[in-house]
């Protein structure tokens, strides 16, 4: 395990986010979507996969309100959620 006093050449290299910073949602325009997402986490035992539809809804809210650059949802990792074919959700308990 590395320690904070590691004198080797390795060090943690923080990287900036790929798409920069989210603008602040000063007026809480997407707060309801956030609440629904967090509620899903609470109900699913904090399982990210189960709550991806609501995560996607939150990001769509941001895009619709100019709080995030518009991106095709496939480029945000939601390709499977927007495909037209019927979806089974085997992870749901």
Partner 1 sequence: MVGLSYAAVPLYRLYCQATGLGGTTSAGQGEERIESMRPVRERVVKVTFNADVHTSIQWNFRPQQTEIYVVPGETALAFYKAKNPTDKPIIGISTYNVVPFEAGQYFNKIQCFCFEEQRLNPQEEVDMPVFFYIDPEFAEDPKMAKVDLITLSYTFFEAKEGQKLPLPGYQ
Closest approach of partner 1 to the CB of residue 86, in Å = 19
Residues 6 or more apart from 53 whose CB is under 8 A from it?
81
| Cβ–Cβ under 8 Å, residues 37 and 51 | yes
Q: Distances in Å between the alpha carbon of 30 and those of 16, 26, 35, 86?
A: 24, 10, 9, 28
Is the CB of 28 or the CB of 86 nearer to partner 1? 28
Closest approach of partner 1 to the CB of residue 85, in Å = 17
Size of the site for partner 1 (CB under 8 A): 46
Q: Is 86 helix (H, G, I), strand (E, B) or coil?
A: coil
DSSP state of 23: P
Among positions 11-70, residues that touch partner 1 (CB under 8 A) are 11-26, 28, 30-31, 34, 37-38, 41, 45-49, 51-52, 55, 58-59, 68-69
Residues lying near partner 1 in the complex (CB under 8 A) are found at: 1-2, 4-5, 10-26, 28, 30-31, 34, 37-38, 41, 45-49, 51-52, 55, 58-59, 68-69, 74-79
């Amino acid at each position: 395990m590395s320690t904070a006093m590691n004198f080797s050449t390795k060090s943690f290299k923080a990287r900036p986010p790929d798409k920069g910073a989210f603008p602040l949602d000063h007026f809480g325009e997407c707060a309801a979507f956030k609440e629904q997402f967090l509620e899903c986490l609470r109900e699913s035992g904090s399982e990210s996969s189960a709550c991806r539809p609501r995560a996607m809804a939150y990001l769509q809210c941001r895009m619709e309100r100019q709080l995030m650059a518009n991106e095709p949802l496939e480029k945000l990792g939601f390709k499977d959620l927007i495909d037209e074919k019927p979806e089974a959700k085997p992870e749901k308990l």
